[in-house]
Amino acid sequence: MPTDSLAVTTTLTHWQQARSQLQQQADSGQLLQLSRQLCQYRLGQVATEPAALTLSSALPDALWRSELLLSLSTWLNWPHATVQLLLNASYCCGLSDILSDTQSHPRLQPYPPLLSAKLLRTSAPAALLQVLDGCYATERKIPYWRQSAASLLLTLVMRFSTPNTDNSFTIQLGRRIMLSRCEHELALLRTLILWHRQTALQPPQSAATLFNHSDYQQLRHSSNKQLAACLSTTAAMREPVLKLATELNRQQQPITDVSLAVNLIGRDLLDNVLIDAELSNVLSQLHHPQHAMLQQLTAAFACSLHLQSQDNLPMAKCRALARCLCAPLWFDSSGYRSGLLRPANTPLPDFRLYQQAAASALISKLLQQYQLTDWLAAAQQMLSALQQQSVPHDETARILLIAWYSCQAVFNSDAAPHLTALLQQQAGNTVNSSDPQLWLTTVAGQANCQCPLLLTL
């Protein structure tokens, strides 16, 4: 891969120049500026997949780790802002040994990210310090629900060194698997094994293009026989169909035959199941570390819709709608550098992203793509109400807004006041709506809600 080799080689030249400049002016401000410049230069290269392992003998440890970090985070489809932050943090770690006051912190020498955080405490951006400060969570006995994916990945990469004949990458990988005592690190190591096997086979599919391809239109117009044949070869689409068929089976026996499942469910319901299955599969490819938590929020949203409809909306359609409306949550970049429980003990993503035009555009695109356009106007009114902190006049939009605040309030009481006011307006039209606490208990019970304590890595 000549392009990748050229990109990494030129980055090495810039790395050496940066170290030389920092030796002449050794201060934290200069270190931050040089690390940002290196990061911007490296990300500006044409290469889409850095070949760190193919140039192992030509790279110093610190730069090789940065290349490994860049390649892995890109392959995981992590957001560009997160990849940039991680790469910047890695360069800071590689340059921090030059600062003159490094020797004044001997206990931090084996932990470059923590050393960098100490040296840059007064000058680095908060997001960068958050990633650096969160490293080596196992050694510091930080509980799993406080650990962040970005810090965990940076920590893991720091445990490796440039491979050579006596210390190959696979040997280092096996040693780390044997020594690890952290569930999160073991999960990342499994991911690292997959990356090492597949990275040379095909470039990663960007998050922007994941939603551009859909098999739904082809499947919904196929005959039952063609549909069963297609589902038999696609586990991600097949499993939800078999699960629903098992739930509908009066004999309460597991359904394992796809053709039987398709006939049992019926085409009307099956369309919604296919929407939910396809979107769930696409969102899982974003490798969001809080995927399990977001799945819980989506399930609570769907159950709230179903309860409000008083069985007029099939659960399968509620799940499809919830998946479309909750999809923007998977683009919450703050979830990569924070734990499952935030400082205020709120296990929720940053919902402010719904005030951005990108969230509205994605929801509109998905509702149109999956033939749910009769919900488009209500969804736009819901988004407008969220931005303006108002109550929509349209009843369907209010139902969506109640579902929205319900899925939040189940996990975080901060959303309860908004929900209480909405439920009072809907009193008599919604099951158990007169008692907000009973309403949330019903939603949580129907959705089998639980708060995950481990990240999805």
* Alpha carbon distance, N-terminus to C-terminus of the chain: 29
What letter represents residue 188's amino acid?
A: L
CB 51 within 8 A of CB 4: yes
Give the model confidence (pLDDT) of 282-340 as tens digits.
Answer: 888 888 999 998 999 999 999 999 988 876 888 889 999 999 999 999 988 888 988 88
Contact 258, 232 (CB under 8 A): yes
Q: How far apart are CA 315 and CA 244, in angstroms?
A: 10
SS3 428: coil
The Cα angle at residue 334 between residues 363 and 338, in degrees rounded to 5: 135
pLDDT in the model for residue 300: 93
Domain coordinates in residue numbering, the chain:
2-200, 216-447
Give the span between the Cα atoms of 78 and 336, in whole angstroms. 8
Residues in the chain where the model's pLDDT stays below 50:
1-4, 48-53, 200-201
pLDDT value, residue 59: 81
Q: In the prediction, which pLDDT does 318 show?
A: 92
Q: Is-contact 259 225, C-beta < 8 A?
A: yes
What whole-number distance in Å separates Cα of residue 172 and Cα of residue 158? 12
Separation of alpha carbons 370 and 214, rounded Å: 9
DSSP string, 127-176: HHHHHHHT--TTTTT--GGG--HHHHHHHHHHT-----SSS-HHHHHHHH
Query: CB count, 10 Å around CB of 327?
Result: 22
